[in-house]
Amino acid sequence: MAKHPALIGVYSDPDVLLEAADGARQKGWKHLDAYTPYPIHGLDKALGIGHSWVPWVTLAMGLGGALGGFTLEYWVHVIEWPMNVGGKPLNSWPAFFPVMFESGVLIGGISTFIAMWAACKLPTSKPVIHDERFTDDKFGLLIPLDGVSPADAEAYLKSSGAEEVKHV
Amino acid sequence: MPSIGWWIGFLIASGMLGIGVIVVYILLTRGQGIFGLSHPYGWAFDITNFVFWIGIGHAGTLISAILFLLRQRWRTSINRSAEAMTIFAVMTALIFPLLHTGRQWVAYWLVPLPNDRLLWVNFRSPLLWDVFAVSTYFTISLLFWYTGLVPDFASMRDKAKNFLRKKIYGALSLGWTGSMRDWTHYEKAYLLFAGMSTALVLSVHTVVSYDFATSIIPGWHTTIFPPYFVAGAIFSGFAMVVTLLVFMRTAFKLEHYITIRHMELMNKIILLTGMLVGYAYLTEFFIAWYSENPFERYVFMNRLTGPFSWAFYIMFFCNVAVPQIFWFKKARTSIPIMFVVSILVNIGMWFERFNIIVSSLHRDFLPTNWDNFVPTIYDFGWTIGAFGLFLTLFLLFVRVFPTVSIAEIKHTLPKPADSSKEGVHG
């Protein structure tokens, strides 16, 4: 978003930001974003941001990890190194369950971590920090100027309660 | 800023750690014989400490994950330090089985790796389940903790005036800007981590209890062990959180963030889990009597009247009797009382593990084997060293990291945006 020229309005009140974001989306403006020190619920909808795809990665990799754990156990104890212990079946799956569970959680967790940062396009050594107060106590609404006239956007931000409007 | 108290604490903690380092050096050069271990008690202080420290870690995960899922807002003040406690406690715990193996330099044999001799680990062994459970627990806790810290690091980066600090916090924050698009992914991932950690907190101590429960040793071969161990872990973990927070809130003047109400709620959990643990003790005795198994009955009579009965009585007094004081609101909200109780609970829980391990092992099926365990100074030395390691790491943490989750606390301060809407954050 930051590659294109944009306007950013600075707010002190998250409720005002939420209404401003909702209004901007209703105007049909695209690629809106907001900067907040903590997540504000309902803001993703107000900005028109869809659901995160991270949980699908967790599900797929978690199941894959569990299956991988079981495959390793089966291969070791049934194919590669079969050992008869007390006449128990080689594929003694109840005893394989703890490792299967832990491998599922481990692979699922590590993948979630990687997927989350990939989704955020992070880490980056050169973050675009529009305003250092956005991680502290201020809230920002970003309107990219593709197809939106700067005058319109500025007028909208001011009328929606922004304390200041910055060109970024 | 660190007070004189922090420096005194740090000197004591690192001194204790120094004792541990010396013991480990002697262990590595002389071998396992320096400990009081012998036949029939091949396990004593090492496994006691391992189970104790794993248990300490559980309150951290419980506070950060389960209370998060249950939308308990009071967790926000304490979750950061509780999570840090988990990480450091699990690190401390891991030292014990690794050093206990005897040949520490081949500890990687615990990992299922292909090798020249075509030998594999035994996936049917609870000791291997432990390797998987504890390493998964550590990894996920670390990722969960770090994920929670990133927005705070960004906040510290943006507030830092010093160039070096800006660079360090800048690197740690991974370039976080607080964009709502990022928050959407972040929040989902955080929720998933909380879910996974919740499953882990229940599974890890269950697996640790299998080390005992799947054996045939009387006093260990018990189906109540998994829930009993989980309850005990939460009990001791919360006691440790109370001990640490009593110090932290006064030392860093965090009384406004970590209020008496927070402490009181934790004390209520200590009271509840203390009673669960007490119930488990009584159930064990009941089942020993009801099973009519002479070996099982003997072990429990031996716990009450044998050479290690003192350990049993310390455990019972500290874990069952002492927390009952928390029925009174005055006690629950009094800092000196809760501090003393939390220390006693931790002593009691250490003795619980000692009691399970040593009292079951020292008199096995064959009376000619019977012997009494006598710890050596090295046994005490590495126990002290473990406390030193944990406290040193914790003191360093409170010095350099945000001890209270900045992003989450802001959310609970007056006039949160979502007060009337569906909220996810704790």
- Contact in structure between B242 and B263 (CB atoms under 8 Å): yes
Query: Predicted ipTM?
Result: 0.91
Per-residue pLDDT at B3 = 76
CA B415 to chain A, closest CA, distance in angstroms equals: 9
With CB atoms and an 8 Å threshold, state whether A37 touches B155. Answer: yes
B189 contacts on A by Cβ (under 8 Å):
52, 54, 58, 112-113, 115-116
Backbone φ and ψ of B222, nearest 5°: -130, 135
Residue B108 and residue B118: Cα distance in Å, rounded?
A: 15
- Contact in structure between B271 and B242 (CB atoms under 8 Å): no
Per-residue pLDDT at B423 = 38
Name every residue whose Cβ is closer than 8 Å to that of residue B14 and which is 6 or more positions away in sequence: B388, B392
Per-residue pLDDT at B424 = 38
- Give the best residue of A84, A101, A102, A106 to mutate against chain B (max B CB count within 10 A): A102
Q: Report pLDDT digits (tens) over B374-414.
A: 999 999 999 999 999 999 999 998 888 877 777 777 766 65
B35-59 average pLDDT score: 90
- Structure tokens belonging to residue B177: 């800007």
With CB atoms and an 8 Å threshold, state whether B186 touches A134. Answer: no
Q: Is the pLDDT of residue B425 over 60?
A: no
Choose the closest CB to A49 out of B184, B186, B418: B184
- Structure tokens belonging to residue B412: 């609970």
- Structure tokens belonging to residue B279: 């119930």
Q: Which of B333, B337, B341 is nearest to B262 (CA)?
A: B333
With CB atoms and an 8 Å threshold, state whether A128 touches B176. Answer: no
Q: Report pLDDT digits (tens) over A113-166.
A: 999 999 988 888 888 888 888 888 889 999 888 888 888 888 888 888 888 888
Q: Is the pLDDT of residue A1 over 60?
A: no
Name the pLDDT band for B272 (thresholds 50, 70, 90): very high
Residue in B closest to A139 by C-alpha: B178
Range of B6-10, B79-83, B345-349 with top mean pLDDT:
B345-349
Per-residue pLDDT at A68 = 96
Per-residue pLDDT at A69 = 96
- Structure tokens belonging to residue B143: 């990722």
Q: Report pLDDT digits (tens) over B365-379.
A: 888 888 889 999 999
Neighbours of B3 (CB within 10 A): 12
CA B33 to chain A, closest CA, distance in angstroms equals: 32
A77 contacts on B by Cβ (under 8 Å):
120, 123-124
Q: Report pLDDT digits (tens) over A62-91.
A: 999 999 999 999 999 999 889 888 888 999
Mean pLDDT for chain B overall = 88
B199 contacts on A by Cβ (under 8 Å):
101, 105
With CB atoms and an 8 Å threshold, state whether A38 touches B120. Answer: no
SS3 A167: strand
Per-residue pLDDT at B412 = 67
Which helix (H) or strand (E) segment holds residue B25: the answer is helix B4-30
With CB atoms and an 8 Å threshold, state whether B196 touches A135. Answer: no
Looking at this protein, which amino acid is placed at residue B26? I
Q: What are all long-range contacts of B284-291, with beta carbons under 8 Å and residues at least 24 apart?
A: B284/B222, B284/B224, B287/B222, B287/B224
B175 contacts on A by Cβ (under 8 Å):
122-127
Could you tell me which residue, B129 or B424, shows the higher pLDDT?
B129
Backbone φ and ψ of B170, nearest 5°: -60, -45
Residue B251 and residue B253: Cα distance in Å, rounded?
A: 6
SS3 A50: coil
B112-131 average pLDDT score: 88
Name the pLDDT band for B1 (thresholds 50, 70, 90): low
A116 contacts on B by Cβ (under 8 Å):
147, 185-186, 188-189
CA A37 to chain B, closest CA, distance in angstroms equals: 6
Backbone φ and ψ of A6, nearest 5°: -155, 165
Q: Report pLDDT digits (tens) over B310-329.
A: 999 999 999 999 999 999 99
Q: Report pLDDT digits (tens) over B167-211.
A: 999 999 998 988 999 999 999 999 999 999 989 988 999 999 999
Choose the closest CB to B120 out of A38, A52, A76: A76
- Give the best residue of B68, B120, B135, B183 to mutate against chain A (max A CB count within 10 A): B183
Per-residue pLDDT at A115 = 95
Give the 3-state secondary structure of A113-144: HHHHHHHCCCCCCCCCCCCHHHHCCCEEEEEE
Q: Which of A7-16, A82-91, B74-83, B279-288 has the lowest mean pLDDT?
A: B74-83
With CB atoms and an 8 Å threshold, state whether B176 touches A127. Answer: yes
A42 contacts on B by Cβ (under 8 Å):
417-418, 421-422
